Amino acid sequence: MDDEIGPNSLNGTARYPAEAVESTPNPPPQPVPDPRQAGRSSTYSDPDKRIGSVSETSTSSGDLSADALTNRSSNTQRIGANYGYAANVLTIVRRSLDEILLPNSYVERSVRYFVEPHGFVEAKRILNDRRVLVLVSDPDRGRHDAALNALDSMGGLAIREVKREPGESVRITEIPTRSNAGWILDLRQDETVPSSLGRDLASPETRQTLEVSKSYLIVILSPRLWNECSAGGNSLQHYLRRPSALSIIQRRLNGHLPEDVIHRWLGDERIRQRLADATPTDALEWVSRILEVQAIPNSTLTLPKSLESDPNEDDFQAARVRTALEAASNWRTHLLDWYRNNEDCQTRDYLVAAAILEWHGAGDIFTAADRLSAALKGPAHNSSGQQGPGVLELIDRIGAEHNGTYLKFDKLGYREAVLDYVWADRPHLQTNLLKWMCDESLRVPEDPALSDRVVAYVLRWTLRSKDLCHLKEVAYSWSSYPELRSRAVDLFTAAALDSELGKAVRDLLLDWSKPEADVSGDLRALTAEICGGHLALVYKKMMLFRLGNLASIEDDRISQAAQHKISSLWDNVKLRSEIVSHVLRWLSSKDRTIEAGRSTFTVLMSINEQDTQIPAILSYVSTNPEQLDALARGLRVVLEYSPLEREVSLALWSWLTAATRNVEVRQIFESLAVAASAPRGPSDYDAQARIALLDTVILWLHNCPHENQAAAEQVHNTVTKRLVAFDPYRNRQDVTGASQISYQQNVVRDGQ
């Protein structure tokens, strides 16, 4: 096996980017021309190259290329304290995929910014001497980036992930044999592994295989898992230590800030104390936070009154540090004091409405606050006539700024901190608060900043609570709105890639895809978009199975949506062999899996190659002749389903029509037809597949255009002659007569 371990292997497991310790830092925020787009400020995807803002409409939802996703996610938004100037959900998805698909740019950035933890030299020595290294570590120590760095240090390797999905078999005897490769076998999501794993990794056979191919292998797993399988492999292990947060921050800030500015930040005792026990994820958040606070003009910093008249640079730096520390604390102390001093419901509602609708008009926020009070079952605001506070008074009370058109907060991360405070302070109102947020986004579906904020908050709150009810609320609310459906797809994709929550999300998608599920058509259509999107690059088998379920549903809108996504996956030539392998495996099962296999195979039968318009299955056989018998077995399963599905008949018609135009296609079709309908043995008298094919050929011939009649008759005669040869009880005329009767029955049944 070339690229994989195990017969069912796929692309590697998914991780949430918080674990990607060496992800790219964000630069100081740039001016935002349109304040309504402030939630989508441009940023750097690469420290040395600015990527401009790219409209999300520039990328087709069917485009599964990594470049397409990078374009869609080149914008970022501020999504909360303890996240700093954090990436939006699309960027989270892109980084998760990068960690799995390992594009060169991602590997280069990871190596460039990697900070070696203490003792890492020993890890590289083990890899160099033994060609195998087992990296053992708890989460959030940069395990994946450490593996990339160690492999890169070996020199001249093409670094790749071993393709597999969580829970699939791990068989080291099937080590990849590609030359000069650095392999990462990521077991961070697995619950169990073979007890012999350590012994297998340390075996002479494993080492010899790697030496012959001039390759190396790093296995990443948790201490608990390694304790269960380490016997015989202790000489390969390295327990990864946590790198210094200060070192990570300094490495990241170099090139973005002058050395003296970096020294002022990292030399501040308050910052050093805060970072004493910081994780690598914390460090990356501090990088973003420092860059953003450093970009704040001196004139807008809050200084003590005693210093306002004649501040110096140290005073401004102290103010920046205070701002960063308060933002890192989610402005919790400030908000606690504010809520104590503002018990009026209308003022509190206005603060929350402003938090979700920042950069909107103050009047719009005023009416949104009224709707919020109703959603939370609070008292009606007394705003008739000139009773109660007006807009200007409310803006002053919540500490916001207003330029005559738009409202905004001047505190770093304050908008997110407000919503986090309410979320934590009023847990019994969480469901109603989220529903109100979704409803507000429905009022202005053309405003991507608002829906992006909702998606970002929901993702964070879902990951914290490990409860899918928030995700479901977004799906229920947005699935029927085309303008918002793509945001819901992004949200579910990010959640399904999460290392802790992902399995539950993928199981939810499976439940929604089942024909017997009691869900709306809009929700099924959304499920098809999610399963056929970028998630399918990682979990091919899982997502293809869900699409197969959806394709079998008797609702044209749903089945066509699923068929479209399956076709998009087939367009990726690199995925075709895996798609065929999975579908044929499902068709050979004895349980309900066969239903998804049959519907998916039917979709594949109906696809034509874009350039040649040759049926995709026949084209695949022409380039993979060794697959003919396996595909014929799949075709037999589809043909033996009674009554023959209309989609199968139409697909076979397209095959027959293609056979009239191309001799090679005709030969392939005949070979498939013969193999699919031949008796399984000398005592096999089941002619269901053969009769179904004969019926279809006869019906097709009767409906063939006059100008193609001669070629059609030639195909008909050749195929029927070869099929009838298998039947010891009928001559061709008898079969044709039987087919004519069946044809008439089909006409009556279909109402034609």
Per-residue burial over 435-457, b = 16 or more CB atoms within 10 Å of its CB, e = otherwise: bbbbebbbebbebbbbbbbbbbb
CATH of domain 111-239: 3.40.50.300
pLDDT at 60: 35
- Which tokens go with 663? 């001799």
Cβ atoms within 10 Å of 431's Cβ, excluding its own: 13
Q: Give yes or no for a contact between 539 and 10, defined as CB atoms under 8 angstroms apart.
A: yes
- Which tokens go with 385? 């006539």
Give dist(CA 329, CA 320) in Å, integer: 14
Q: Give yes or no for a contact between 323 and 412, defined as CB atoms under 8 angstroms apart.
A: yes
CA distances from residue 197 to 3, 75, 173, 368, 557 in whole angstroms, order as listed: 19, 43, 10, 58, 47
Q: Give yes or no for a contact between 113 and 283, defined as CB atoms under 8 angstroms apart.
A: no
Return the CA Rg of the chain. Answer: 31
Give dist(CA 529, CA 525) in Å, integer: 6
| C-alpha torsion 138→141→147→148, nearest 10 | 150
pTM: predicted TM-score of the whole model, two decimal places: 0.78
Strand order in the sheet with 237-239: 158-161, 181-186, 216-221, 132-136, 237-239
pLDDT at 100: 72
DSSP 694: H
pLDDT at 214: 93
Which residue bears the tokens 């606690």? 336
Cβ atoms within 10 Å of 274's Cβ, excluding its own: 18
pLDDT at 432: 94
Tell the burial category of 233 from Cβ atoms under 10 Å away from its Cβ (0-12, 13-18, 19+).
buried
Residues 6+ apart with CB under 8 A from 63: none
**What DSSP letter does each residue of 210-227 carry, written as one string?**
HHHTT-EEEEEE-HHHHH
pLDDT at 53: 23
Tell me the backbone φ, ψ of residue 727, rounded to 5 degrees. Answer: -100, 115
pLDDT at 299: 85
Give dist(CA 560, CA 553) in Å, integer: 10
pLDDT at 729: 60
**What DSSP letter does each residue of 697-751 carry, written as one string?**
HHHHHHTS-GGGHHHHHHHHHHHHHHHHTT-SS--HHHHHHHHHHHHHHHHHHHT
Q: Of 68, 71, 88, 69, which is closest to residue 26 (Cα–Cα)?
A: 88
Give dist(CA 544, CA 168) in Å, integer: 16
pLDDT less than 70: residues of the chain? 1-88, 166-167, 173-176, 306, 308-309, 682-685, 728-752
Q: Give yes or no for a contact between 513 and 549, defined as CB atoms under 8 angstroms apart.
A: yes
Q: Would you say how long the chain is, in residues?
A: 752
